[in-house]
Structure 1
Amino acid sequence: MSEGSTPRKADVELRLPADGAYASVLRTTTAGLAARLDFTLDDIEDLRIAIGEASALVLPDADPEADLTCRYFLASHAMTIEVSVESSSSGPDDPASFAWQVLSTLAADTEMDHADGRITVRLTMASSIGETDR
């Protein structure tokens, strides 16, 4: 989202305890939404990996008792996902980290933001079906 723009309401929002034990719930939800958008099985698996890496980037810096929030913005054959936690730390800024490299390789667009006491990783992925329909 560009600076100064009005935040759009997410199509789906999932809030979980900021604990790695809930990563499977996040991956399963993401896969289910991708299936509804007609992502291929390979695309869904890539998305499951990407969402796992996104949560791995933000969880270590989560404040105690914080929630992991995942917001999904759905489009035809594509989705943008924002994974965020409340954090008083400066957040992960290492673009050379393994998790960031995997995420950047799998997603069409990625960015990380630390503002208003939240660390947010935003990724956009498109179905390869949507690419062949053009």
Structure 2
Amino acid sequence: MQPDAEVRLPADSAYVAVLRMTTAGIAARLDFTLDDIEDLRMAVGEASAMLLERARPGGQLITRYFLGENRVAVRISVDAVQPTPPETNSFAWQVLTTTASDVSAETGEDVLTISLTVTSTTSSAPA
């Protein structure tokens, strides 16, 4: 499935603010509530922080957005030397699962991905 939007940034924490701002803009365009926008921004920020801990120096942070009616699914991936999934009992993972639904992590050859979905409580279909 092709993403509706994709953002590629250096795997560096300095770019997380750009990613959070982009995420908020997408959610606002879909008429998400302010609370839902903040949940999505926070979830993307937490997922990015977890991934950047495992990022290969000089690698990329790739975020793919899949837009649907009342929801945004996000897949965030990072180049990793030896990808290992985050600990699901960590505080960061608990924050992530509180702000988003359908949260999962998967590893591939030299790639670590966290997927999450946020559903708006009162949004309308994409315009």
Shorter-chain TM-score bucket reads over 0.9
- CA displacement at 1:88 relative to structure 2: 1.7
Matched length: 124
* 2:55 pairs with 1:62: yes
Task: From 25, 30, 43, give the equivalent of 2:36.
Answer: 43
Moved over 4 A (4+): none
Structure 2: tracts of 5 or more residues without a match: none
Higher relative contact order (CA 8 A, sep 6+): 2
Residue aligned with 2:17, SS: helix
1:21 CA displacement: 0.6
Q: Which amino acid is the alignment partner of residue 122 of structure 2?
A: I
Percent of residue pairs bearing the same amino acid type: 50
Contact 1:11 1:72 in 2 (8 A): yes
**Residues 58 and 91 in structure 1, CA contact (< 8 A), matched pair in contact too:** no
Structure 1 residue ranges without an equivalent (≥5): 1-7
User: Are positions 1:126 and 2:123 aligned together?
Assistant: no
Q: Kindly provide the CA deviation profile for residues 13-48 of structure 1, in whole angstroms up to 9, marking residues without a partner as x.
A: 000010001111000000000011110001101111
- CA-to-aligned-CA distance 1:60-104 (integer Å, 9 cap, x gap): 111111010000000111010011111122324311111111001
- State the distance in 2 between where 1:107 and 1:20 align: 21
Contact 1:40 1:129 (8 Å CA) reproduced: yes
User: Is residue 23 of structure 1 aligned with residue 10 of structure 2?
Assistant: no
Contact 1:57 1:92 in 2 (8 A): no
1:78-97 to structure 2, matched below 5 A, reads: 78-97=71-90
Cα contact 1:16–1:22 (8 A) shared by 2: yes
Tell me, what secondary structure is at the counterpart of 2:19?
helix
TM-score by length of 2: 0.93
Q: Give the Å deviation of 1:116.
A: 2.5
